[in-house]
């Protein structure tokens, strides 16, 4: 039987469900305790809430917040000795509608990975890591495979005064494997790139507009193709593709208050 390393100690049912799911997905030996119960020998880390932590007499506690699974897992990896708080972490991002990400130590250990909801969520990930690892140096490596979303991600990160490099994505999917955003993000994190110091210009091509329109036909089951102005808003991140399809549906009108941007050929 594997040795129990981590104890989840909380009476908050939502936090408990988040933490046990996170640990189960990563095959971490875990036990559950209630406040007041004795912490058995062999437990290295206790995961708990901020409110309950003050009542727990244990030297190695990690305070978890609901809805911050990546931050919690990163702190847990530090508590387990996989990483330290003051290292230089590289964060690989594979751009796309749902970008993959991977947080990597200087030794090449991936301490957290996953998929973001949308390109702009990279900035949310960055803020969470800055709060979680205030002493660490963060360097973001962004792939160049999806130029429009790459620009959105890079510019959001630069607004937070973060170090950013653009990495050539060729070879980011290991031979024999299907494309996996988190795996590609890990590869991107390990590669040297070109440092970016100023915001990138956003120029949308006619081909990119047509690709969004093609995807709108797929999403609607061939019922409609969204107009060019909505496709441009999708590419700029002002509108999701799902919302654009809904707005373009017969009987639904939505006045655009955004200036129409011209697509280059």
- Do 103 and 169 belong together in one domain? yes
Residue 102 lies in a domain: yes
| Residues linked to residue 142 through DSSP beta bridges, in sequence order | 93, 166
3-state secondary structure string, the chain? CCCCCEEEECCCHHHHHHHHHHHHHCCCCEEEECCCCCCCCCCCEEEECHHHHCCCCCCCEEECCCCCHHHHHHHHHHHCCCCCCCCEEEEEEECCCCCEEEEECCCCCEEEEEECCCCCHHHHHHHHHHHHCCCCEEEEEEECCCHHHHHHHHHHHHHCCCEEEEECCCCCCCCCCCCCHHHHHHHHHCCCCEEECCCCCCCCEHHHHHHHHHHHHHHCCCCCCCCHHHHHHHHCCCCCHHHHHHHHCCCCCCCCCCCCCCCEC
- Do 222 and 245 belong together in one domain? yes
Q: What is the CATH number of the domain that holds 124?
A: 3.30.420.140
| Residue at which a domain ends, from 146, 172, 196 | 196
- Do 102 and 187 belong together in one domain? yes
Whether 177 has a pLDDT exceeding 70, the answer reads: no
| Residue at which a domain ends, from 175, 196, 217 | 196
Structure-token match 């510019």, residue found: 155
Residue 240 lies in a domain: yes
- Do 129 and 192 belong together in one domain? yes
pLDDT value at residue 174: 53
Q: What is the CATH number of the domain that holds 47?
A: 3.40.50
pLDDT tens-digit series, residues 45-60 = 999 999 999 999 999 9
Confidence band for 257, pLDDT divided at 50, 70 and 90: very low
Residue 1 lies in a domain: no
- Do 151 and 107 belong together in one domain? yes
pLDDT average, residue stretch 233-243: 83
pLDDT average, residue stretch 249-259: 52
- Do 124 and 184 belong together in one domain? yes
Positive or negative, the CA dihedral 57, 63, 69, 72 is negative
Tally of structural domains, the chain: 3
Q: Do residues 110 and 102 lie in contact, with contact meaning Cβ atoms separated by under 8 Å?
A: yes
pLDDT value at residue 6: 93
Whether 21 has a pLDDT exceeding 90, the answer reads: yes
pLDDT value at residue 103: 95
- Do 97 and 160 belong together in one domain? yes
pLDDT tens-digit series, residues 141-170 = 999 888 888 998 999 999 999 999 999 987
* Range of the structural domain that residue 147 is part of: 88-196
pLDDT value at residue 22: 92
- Do 213 and 155 belong together in one domain? no
| Residue at which a domain ends, from 79, 105, 128 | 79
pLDDT tens-digit series, residues 179-231 = 577 889 999 999 999 999 998 887 777 888 888 899 899 999 998 999 988 98
Whether 111 has a pLDDT exceeding 80, the answer reads: yes
- Do 230 and 190 belong together in one domain? no
Residue 252 lies in a domain: yes
Whether 106 has a pLDDT exceeding 60, the answer reads: yes
Confidence band for 42, pLDDT divided at 50, 70 and 90: confident
pLDDT value at residue 179: 54
Confidence band for 82, pLDDT divided at 50, 70 and 90: confident
Residue 63 lies in a domain: yes
């Amino acid at each position: 039987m594997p040795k129990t390393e981590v104890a989840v100690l909380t009476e908050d049912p939502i936090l408990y469900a988040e933490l046990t799911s996170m640990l189960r997905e990563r095959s971490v030996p875990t036990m559950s305790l209630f406040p007041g119960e004795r912490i058995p020998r062999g437990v290295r880390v206790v995961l708990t809430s901020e409110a309950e932590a003050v009542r727990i007499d244990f030297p190695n506690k990690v305070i978890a917040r609901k809805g911050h699974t990546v931050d919690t897992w990163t702190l847990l990896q530090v508590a387990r000795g996989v990483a330290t708080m003051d290292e230089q972490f590289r964060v690989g991002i594979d751009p796309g509608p749902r970008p993959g990400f991977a947080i990597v130590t200087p030794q090449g250990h991936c301490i957290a990975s996953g998929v973001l909801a949308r390109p702009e969520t990279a900035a949310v990930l960055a803020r969470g890591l800055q709060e979680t690892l205030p002493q660490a140096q963060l360097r973001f490596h962004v792939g160049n495979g999806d130029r429009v979303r790459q620009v959105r991600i890079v510019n959001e990160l630069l607004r937070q005064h973060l170090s950013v490099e653009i990495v050539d994505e060729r070879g980011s999917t290991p031979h024999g494997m299907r494309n996996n955003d988190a795996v590609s993000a890990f590869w991107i994190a390990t590669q040297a790139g070109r440092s970016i110091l100023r915001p990138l210009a956003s120029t949308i091509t006619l081909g990119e507009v047509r690709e969004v329109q093609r995807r709108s036909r797929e999403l609607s089951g061939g019922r409609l193709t969204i107009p060019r102005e909505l496709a441009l808003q999708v590419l700029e991140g002002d509108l999701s593709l799902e919302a654009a399809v809904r707005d373009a549906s017969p009987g639904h009108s939505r006045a655009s208050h955004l200036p129409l941007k011209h697509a280059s050929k």
